[in-house]
Structure 1
């Protein structure tokens, strides 16, 4: 039997079996059951249909992690319209590009961000504008609650949908050129959510805290997985460390996902405040992006009492490519577990991940030979929105037909992948390859270092040389509590001489994305603005 895989199945299942169970703890203090969440989504579907939205139309959502985002997303998708979540940290000019590129017909925008859309309203094709607090927004915006109240939840007609039809467009960060819209179908979303459910061990009694942005590749699929399992969503308005601890204790949170920087923030807050790191439920956390230093993982497991796992992925892959959630491959009683858990890990079910050399051959599992990570699986994107050339490029190169990540990695004897660098972040100094990640991990071990990013800097002698941008532990870049010479010597004592960091700049903060990923390209552009080209072409 063939049954189409549709993203609407997730909420349908929760309404069918968990109707009276609490589904959402809202940032407004309200609580909704799955029956109530479903009805609100139905009302939004009906409201969009009344405003002319049809199957295939693009509808944008600009919202932090509130219940409105969940309701809007399912309301959009139940019509067969395409959910286009937007990064709320962008500028009005960014939204002009995105809304025009996707041809967005309607938008729901949270009151805190709606003015960014209002500013460029006449420059975009959007006709319907809805917010959750029109009194706080300039211009003519409809009120979300009034829109729902005026809609009949039984009035909309759910169209017939195919699993191969596009249902979401997630925009990449656009670190090189314009952002690209990653097209994801019902099938890619549904299968990815099932993989997340399995490998994150999500169950119906989970209490999930939203610290990861819902806009980020649909919250790594958790808008589907948590819902479909009938678990509980605890919503937030971004990352507030005090509120995170409050929610963990008050709501008995069992699971959260975040960037490594959030874990460091939680650790710093705990050092200065008397807080409990768990409620009545045992806690687990998944981090993604650059792997946190081993000291952070050790803090999370030994001081917080949480179970840690690393996720590796990309917007184009849903994002799950691999995970260190490998209980049989990691001895939980061994000190080696921290170095293993920070690895990107092994592929999930029904996914092929390989590390290949420039000829497309698999590198040996010797934990030394570097190659590029390539992947193919059911969760990988369909295409880039209206960008056929970029789509073809993403699936060609060292091994045609596989998605090319641009990440350079090694593989250990049991097949656990460990990223050494981005292709553009590797430092080529005097012909030697130096991993910026290895340098960052080393410098982070120094007690005076809070955050660090290492990039290649121009060198007349070596072509490139490592430069570290460091946020000092005391927060004062003018009086950081440590000298450049001391940190240079510290790296020399812990690394081969050719890997020693040569230059250091103390800063207030590092540039990051909404998910906490350090935007090294900004640091590289500033460092190399007076040069003709980079040695490594990063």
Structure 2
């Protein structure tokens, strides 16, 4: 028989079997069982429907990793509305585009970020604005708790839904042009969450610490997987090393995820403060983005005593399309163990992952020949929101019907891939995607900048960081008419803080092709000459 795969199944299962068990530890110390969590979700659903929200409408959620985020997400999805999680590190102008592009009808925003929405609320289609602390915002916002208290969970009616309905829109960082809305269906989310459950070895007695942003591809699917497994969520309002170690010890955390910078931060803190590395449970950690240095992985496993796994993917792919969860392919000890764990790994169950040349043929498993990573799997997106041409391009370049990641990799004899470079003009700094094109456009507007090219440069702290090669408008590299510090402030004033450029080099020329196209590959070679590969590790 065939049963529809719906994201609502995950909370339904938890309520059926784990209703009396603790589900969530809030950032304020408040605790909820799955029955209590489910009641709050039902109330949020009822409150949305009372305000006219219907299946297919869009509900934006702008929140750090609090219980409100989980309640708003599941509350929206139970009505058949489309959950639109927003990166809380963006600018008001970014939110204006995202809310208008998605056509959001409702916005829930945490009090710390709601002012960014208030600044552009007259320019967006939403007419319902909810926050968890209206007193902290200048403007007319509904109080989250009152929103729930005024609703009767018995009034909420779940509509008929299909596994092929779009249920979330996750926005990319806009590496080329405007951000793209990645449409994911009940089916793609459900099957991806099942893959996460399998390859992250999730169990019902796991305690998951939210060091990974919930907005980032729905927290890599963990808003579903942890919930459906009946495990416990420990919420956070950001990542501070002291708080992470304290939560691990006091809440008996068994699992956490994040960018490699989280591991580096924890390592530095531990060297100076000697915290407890675990509570009553052994700890597992998964990293994604740029691979951590093998020394960081070695320290994580040997000093912290945590089991490390590498994950690879993209917003369009769930993200999980490769993992180092391959114990029979990795020795139990020795230096080779850590260099193999540093690789992006092999495809998860039910996923076809290939590295192909320009003709769409598989590259040999010689760990030398570079090709592009392409993928087919049930976790890959349905389409881009209102962008049919971009959707067509993503699935029909070297191979028809395969999603093209834009990442270039080699493959070893066991089929484990290792990313070497990128086709896209993208920088991954501390786990965040940054468009070099966006940075160039911003810097071009400065009167002292005649021409500019931005590339990723190595960074011990962030893996890689934006670096700008600038030809001064006055042609004088010794006295360019502007300082690097002034250009950094210029980018900070116009972009989200994590996108600011801190490294500059004033040059007489930027290498170009005969047709005038900037040869960023040459610039990257200059920066990464002493590195093993031209992507960040750290």
- TM-score, reference length from structure 2: 0.83
Cα distance in 2 between the residues matched to 1:40 and 1:200: 28
How is 1:240-255 mapped onto 2 (pairs within 5 angstroms)?
Answer: 240-255=240-255
Query: Contact 2:261–2:463 (CA<8 Å) still a contact in 1?
Result: no
Query: Contact 2:91–2:496 (CA<8 Å) still a contact in 1?
Result: no
CA RMSD of the aligned region, Å?
2.8
Query: Contact 1:458–1:534 (CA<8 Å) still a contact in 2?
Result: no
Q: 1:528 to 1:44 in 2, by over 3 A?
A: farther
For residue 396 of structure 2, give the secondary structure of its aligned residue in structure 1: coil
How is 1:322-471 mapped onto 2 (pairs within 5 angstroms)?
Answer: 322-424=322-424, 440=458, 450-451=461-462, 453=464
Q: Which residue of 2 aligns with 1:101?
A: 101
Q: Which residue of 2 aligns with 1:489?
A: none
2:514 aligned with 1:535, yes or no?
no
For residue 175 of structure 1, give the secondary structure of its aligned residue in structure 2: coil
Q: 1:527 to 1:419 in 2, by over 3 A?
A: farther
For residue 299 of structure 2, give the secondary structure of its aligned residue in structure 1: helix
Cα distance in 2 between the residues matched to 1:452 and 1:80: 39
Query: Contact 1:216–1:515 (CA<8 Å) still a contact in 2?
Result: no
For residue 105 of structure 2, give the secondary structure of its aligned residue in structure 1: strand
Query: Contact 2:176–2:425 (CA<8 Å) still a contact in 1?
Result: no
Q: Which residue of 1 aligns with 2:78?
A: 78
Stretch moving more, 265-274 or 185-194:
265-274
> Offset at 1:535?
1.2
Cα distance in 2 between the residues matched to 1:12 and 1:426: 39
Cα distance in 1 between the residues matched to 2:2 and 2:392: 30
Q: 1:519 to 1:119 in 2, by over 3 A?
A: closer
Q: 1:206 to 1:536 in 2, by over 3 A?
A: same
Q: 1:528 to 1:211 in 2, by over 3 A?
A: farther
How is 1:210-221 mapped onto 2 (pairs within 5 angstroms)?
Answer: 210-221=210-221
Q: Which residue of 1 aligns with 2:474?
A: none
> Offset at 1:333?
2.0
> Offset at 1:536?
4.1
Q: 1:156 to 1:397 in 2, by over 3 A?
A: same
Q: 1:303 to 1:401 in 2, by over 3 A?
A: same
> Offset at 1:342?
0.6
> Offset at 1:334?
2.6
Cα distance in 2 between the residues matched to 1:459 and 1:81: 46
> Offset at 1:456?
8.7
> Offset at 1:335?
2.1
Q: Which residue of 1 aligns with 2:445?
A: none
Query: Contact 1:191–1:378 (CA<8 Å) still a contact in 2?
Result: yes
Q: 1:363 to 1:292 in 2, by over 3 A?
A: same
Q: Which residue of 2 aligns with 1:32?
A: 32
Query: Contact 2:261–2:461 (CA<8 Å) still a contact in 1?
Result: no
Q: CA offsets per residue over residues 160-214 of structure 1, 9 Å max, x none?
A: 0000000000000112210000000000000000000000000000000001000
For residue 84 of structure 2, give the secondary structure of its aligned residue in structure 1: strand
Cα distance in 2 between the residues matched to 1:106 and 1:324: 39
Q: Which residue of 2 aligns with 1:116?
A: 116
For residue 261 of structure 1, give the secondary structure of its aligned residue in structure 2: helix
The count of aligned residue pairs is: 473
> Offset at 1:453?
2.9
Q: Which residue of 2 aligns with 1:499?
A: none
Q: Which residue of 2 aligns with 1:58?
A: 58
> Offset at 1:533?
3.7
Cα distance in 2 between the residues matched to 1:528 and 1:323: 41
Query: Contact 2:10–2:224 (CA<8 Å) still a contact in 1?
Result: yes
> Offset at 1:524?
9.5
Q: Which residue of 2 aligns with 1:502?
A: none
Q: 1:122 to 1:335 in 2, by over 3 A?
A: same
Query: Contact 1:65–1:213 (CA<8 Å) still a contact in 2?
Result: yes
> Offset at 1:241?
1.1
> Offset at 1:527?
7.4
Q: 1:22 to 1:458 in 2, by over 3 A?
A: closer
Q: Which runs of 5+ in 1 are unaligned?
A: 428-435, 461-476, 479-506
Query: Contact 1:171–1:181 (CA<8 Å) still a contact in 2?
Result: yes
> Offset at 1:529?
11
Q: Which runs of 5+ in 2 are unaligned?
A: 428-454, 472-483, 511-515, 525-538
Q: CA offsets per residue over residues 319-353 of structure 1, 9 Å max, x none?
A: 00100011111111232100000100000011000
Q: 1:450 to 1:124 in 2, by over 3 A?
A: closer
Cα distance in 2 between the residues matched to 1:204 and 1:217: 22
Q: 1:142 to 1:451 in 2, by over 3 A?
A: closer
Q: 1:114 to 1:425 in 2, by over 3 A?
A: closer
Q: Which residue of 2 aligns with 1:471?
A: none
For residue 39 of structure 1, give the secondary structure of its aligned residue in structure 2: helix
Query: Contact 1:426–1:536 (CA<8 Å) still a contact in 2?
Result: no
Query: Contact 1:92–1:119 (CA<8 Å) still a contact in 2?
Result: yes
Cα distance in 1 between the residues matched to 2:76 and 2:424: 38
Query: Contact 1:395–1:404 (CA<8 Å) still a contact in 2?
Result: yes
Query: Contact 1:212–1:515 (CA<8 Å) still a contact in 2?
Result: no
Q: 1:457 to 1:66 in 2, by over 3 A?
A: closer
How is 1:188-267 mapped onto 2 (pairs within 5 angstroms)?
Answer: 188-267=188-267
For residue 335 of structure 2, give the secondary structure of its aligned residue in structure 1: coil
Q: Which residue of 2 aligns with 1:484?
A: none
